[in-house]
Amino acid sequence: MSRNLGQTKIRKRRRSENPMREFDSLPPILRAWVSQAALPWRPRSVLRAYNTALARTGDQSRALEELRRLEAAQLAKDNRFAASVYG
Protein backbone atom coordinates (compact mmCIF):
# COMPACT_ATOMS: atom_id res chain seq x y z
CA MET A 1 0.00 0.00 0.00
CA SER A 2 1.36 3.46 -0.88
CA ARG A 3 0.06 5.04 2.36
CA ASN A 4 -1.11 8.24 0.65
CA LEU A 5 2.35 9.55 -0.15
CA GLY A 6 1.58 10.35 -3.76
CA GLN A 7 4.19 10.79 -6.47
CA THR A 8 6.91 12.87 -4.88
CA LYS A 9 10.65 13.03 -5.09
CA ILE A 10 10.91 14.56 -1.62
CA ARG A 11 12.81 12.28 0.70
CA LYS A 12 10.59 10.55 3.19
CA ARG A 13 11.61 10.60 6.85
CA ARG A 14 10.34 8.56 9.73
CA ARG A 15 9.66 10.48 12.91
CA SER A 16 11.56 9.15 15.88
CA GLU A 17 9.81 11.47 18.31
CA ASN A 18 6.23 11.64 19.48
CA PRO A 19 4.68 14.96 18.32
CA MET A 20 1.99 14.92 21.01
CA ARG A 21 4.52 14.32 23.76
CA GLU A 22 6.63 17.19 22.39
CA PHE A 23 3.59 19.47 22.35
CA ASP A 24 2.64 18.46 25.89
CA SER A 25 6.15 19.24 27.10
CA LEU A 26 5.93 22.86 25.89
CA PRO A 27 5.44 25.53 28.56
CA PRO A 28 1.75 26.44 28.99
CA ILE A 29 2.29 29.91 27.51
CA LEU A 30 3.64 28.36 24.29
CA ARG A 31 0.95 25.68 24.11
CA ALA A 32 -1.66 28.44 24.26
CA TRP A 33 0.17 30.45 21.59
CA VAL A 34 0.58 27.49 19.22
CA SER A 35 -3.09 26.56 19.56
CA GLN A 36 -4.03 30.04 18.26
CA ALA A 37 -1.28 30.30 15.62
CA ALA A 38 -2.20 30.66 11.96
CA LEU A 39 0.59 28.33 10.80
CA PRO A 40 1.28 24.74 11.89
CA TRP A 41 4.38 25.14 14.06
CA ARG A 42 6.40 22.12 15.11
CA PRO A 43 6.85 22.09 18.90
CA ARG A 44 10.63 21.99 18.58
CA SER A 45 10.63 24.95 16.16
CA VAL A 46 8.39 27.14 18.26
CA LEU A 47 10.39 26.36 21.41
CA ARG A 48 13.66 27.25 19.66
CA ALA A 49 12.26 30.51 18.29
CA TYR A 50 10.73 31.40 21.65
CA ASN A 51 13.93 30.69 23.59
CA THR A 52 15.93 32.80 21.14
CA ALA A 53 13.46 35.68 21.42
CA LEU A 54 13.30 35.35 25.20
CA ALA A 55 17.09 35.46 25.48
CA ARG A 56 17.15 38.56 23.29
CA THR A 57 14.28 40.44 24.94
CA GLY A 58 14.25 39.06 28.47
CA ASP A 59 10.45 39.30 28.61
CA GLN A 60 7.81 36.65 27.86
CA SER A 61 5.31 39.01 26.27
CA ARG A 62 7.97 40.52 23.99
CA ALA A 63 9.14 37.02 23.05
CA LEU A 64 5.58 36.09 22.07
CA GLU A 65 5.33 39.30 20.05
CA GLU A 66 8.50 38.24 18.23
CA LEU A 67 6.83 34.90 17.41
CA ARG A 68 3.85 36.81 16.02
CA ARG A 69 6.20 38.86 13.84
CA LEU A 70 7.93 35.71 12.58
CA GLU A 71 4.59 34.17 11.71
CA ALA A 72 3.37 37.35 10.00
CA ALA A 73 6.54 37.43 7.89
CA GLN A 74 5.95 33.83 6.79
CA LEU A 75 2.33 34.58 5.94
CA ALA A 76 3.35 37.66 3.94
CA LYS A 77 5.90 35.58 2.05
CA ASP A 78 3.20 33.02 1.24
CA ASN A 79 0.78 35.75 0.12
CA ARG A 80 3.38 37.23 -2.23
CA PHE A 81 4.00 33.76 -3.69
CA ALA A 82 0.27 33.10 -4.13
CA ALA A 83 -0.22 36.49 -5.80
CA SER A 84 2.61 35.82 -8.24
CA VAL A 85 1.32 32.35 -9.11
CA TYR A 86 -2.43 32.87 -9.09
CA GLY A 87 -2.46 36.54 -10.07
Q: pLDDT tens digits, residue range 65-80?
A: 999 999 999 888 877 7
Dist CA 63 CA 68 (whole Å)? 9
**One-letter amino acid of 67:** L
Dist CA 58 CA 42 (whole Å)? 23
Residues in the chain, how many?
A: 87
- The model scores a pTM over 0.85: no
User: Per-residue pLDDT tens for 13-66?
Assistant: 666 778 889 999 999 999 999 999 998 899 999 999 999 999 999 999 999 999
Q: How many CB atoms lie within 10 A of CB 43?
A: 19
- The alpha carbon of residue 32 and the mean position of all alpha carbons in its chain are separated, in whole angstroms, by 13
